[in-house]
Amino acid sequence: MYAELKALETVGVCRRGYFVEGLGGAQFALPGAVERLRELRSARHDEPEALVLAAADPAQPYGAALPWPKRSGARAARVAGAWVVLLDGEAVLFVERGGRSLVPLRDPDPEWLEPAVRALVAYVRGGGAKRLAVERFDGAPVAESEAMALLVQAGFLAGPRRAVLRP
């Protein structure tokens, strides 16, 4: 297949390069796609673009084409019923199956956690789930974590042992 792609590059149908960070080997893309990738790289947003996807969704590259972000104690997998929150295309928050546990995929910081939680609230309220009852955050009870204030601020209702969000 490499030989064919190389031949297509010679006649100008595609371009060779390293377009996706973390993927090894030469990558090929259509010339128009290369220009669109360059535009995305140079565009800076004040607010990161947030997206919530099912962890097993083919459009979600982590666990298939890209490795999950490495963080001590964080475990994420492509399983049915789990979700992942992406900020500017980077996985930052994993919602375990059933929605009882939120797993940050980078060190918790309100700078990225607030937009990630807002995206999760918008997803649930938009009909993505019937309800979300978070009991654990980063392996600890959510009621004892600093994340409880962020969850309540975003629209969750605080309970004695969990934060609940209904559409």
61 and 36, same domain (yes or no): no
Residue 16: domain span: 2-42
What are the pLDDT digits (tens) for 72-128? 777 899 999 999 999 988 999 999 998 999 999 999 898 999 999 999 999 999 988
25 and 93, same domain (yes or no): no
Q: How many of the other CB atoms lie within 10 Å of CB of 165?
A: 21
Tell me, rounded to whole angstroms, the distance of Cα 20 from its chain centroid.
Answer: 16
64 and 116, same domain (yes or no): yes
Structural domain count of the chain: 2
DSSP state of 62: B
121 and 154, same domain (yes or no): yes
- Token look-up 């595609």 returns 14
d(CA 162, CA 39): 42
161 and 112, same domain (yes or no): yes
Q: Which sign does the torsion angle of CA 112, 116, 121, 125 carry?
A: positive
Tell me what the mean pLDDT of segment 64-77 comes to. Answer: 84
What are the pLDDT digits (tens) for 115-164? 999 999 999 999 888 889 999 999 999 999 989 999 999 999 999 999 99
Selection from 165, 129, 112 nearest residue 53 by Cα:
129
